[in-house]
Amino acid sequence: MKQRESGRQLLFWLAGFVIGVLFLCFAAGEQEELNAYMGMQSMVELSLCRVNRREYLAYLLKRRGMIFLVLLFGAMTMIGNYILCAFVMFLGISMGMMSTYLVMHYGGKGILLLLALFFPQIICYTPAVCYIVRFLSLLHDRVFARRGNHLLLSQRMMSQKQIVFTIGVTITGILSECYVNPILVKIVMKIL
């Protein structure tokens, strides 16, 4: 079950990534329109701004917590598995659009910049998202299982150890995004 769920998540993420790349490639007009559409500031401006760490941390906690609550409530609906699949696909679309934009705008240096923008928090967020989507998918299956369907009712939910691991990894990702990532982006921008 774990491998099937992980394979399904990867498939939806890859489909979203391809959709994001294709959308940006075919929908992109002039560079000014693309910049306005993506809402990107000049990366030079971004590298010069000072980050208020407390406000940024509060912002990240609020955004990540809100995403989890929306997914949790979404999983409790009849279309919960579709909502989870759409979320994973949205992550792929976002990553595809961002990587395409950076490569179109900065060329080969855009790949290095993409790695700087997503490192090191991506190492933490990837397993956390996989665990959260798997947990919510199992929760959805349990809520909407028919009586007498012992297969779904006998499935184990995530253990406490896995839940603590997921929360710990998510918090580590948020902290690394807040405190490590801005420094890394500034270093890469000085190199570019």
Average pLDDT of span 117-140: 84
Q: Note whether 88 and 98 are within 8 A (CB).
A: no
Please name which of 135, 140, 160 lies closest in space to residue 152, comparing C-alpha atoms.
140
Locate all alpha helices (DSSP H) within 42-79, ordered by sequence.
43-48, 53-75
- pTM greater than 0.85: no
Mapping DSSP onto H, E and C, the string for 71-114 reads HHHHHCCCCHHHHHHHHHHHHHHHHHHHHHHHHHHHCCHHHHHH
Is the pLDDT assigned to residue 153 strictly greater than 60? no
Domain boundaries, the chain: 2-191
Retrieve residue 185's tokens.
């982006």
Centroid of chain to Cα 51: 22
From CA 78, how far away is CA 90, in angstroms rounded? 20
3-state SS class at 62: helix
Q: What is the pLDDT of residues 38-88, one digit of tens each?
A: 555 555 565 667 778 888 888 888 988 898 888 888 888 888 888 888 999
Angle at 100 (CA atoms; ends 47, 28), nearest 5 degrees: 105
